[in-house]
Amino acid sequence: MSQDRTFDVLTATCPSRTSLARIANKWTAMVVIALSAGRMRFGDLRAKVDGISGKVLTDTLRDLERDGLVSRYAYAEVPPRVEYELTELGHTLQSPLRALGHWAEQHIEEVLTARESYDARR
- Residues binding DNA (CB under 7 A): 25-27, 41-43, 46, 51-56, 58-59, 61-62, 72, 74, 78-83
Q: How far is the CB of 3 from a second copy (least distance, A)?
A: 8
Q: Which residues, 6+ apart, have CB-to-CB distance to 88 below 8 Å?
A: none
Q: What is the dihedral of CA 82, 53, 44, 76, to 10 degrees?
A: -20
Q: How far is the CB of 95 from DNA (least distance, A)?
A: 23
Interface positions with a second copy (CB under 8 A): 3, 7-12, 15-17, 19-21, 23-26, 28-30, 33-34, 48-51, 65-69, 89, 92-93, 95-97, 99-101, 103-108, 110-115, 118-119
Q: How far is the CB of 86 from a second copy (least distance, A)?
A: 13
User: From residue 51, how far is each of 55, 82, 107 by CA, in Å?
Assistant: 12, 20, 22
Question: Residue 58, Cβ neighbours under 10 Å: how many?
Answer: 13
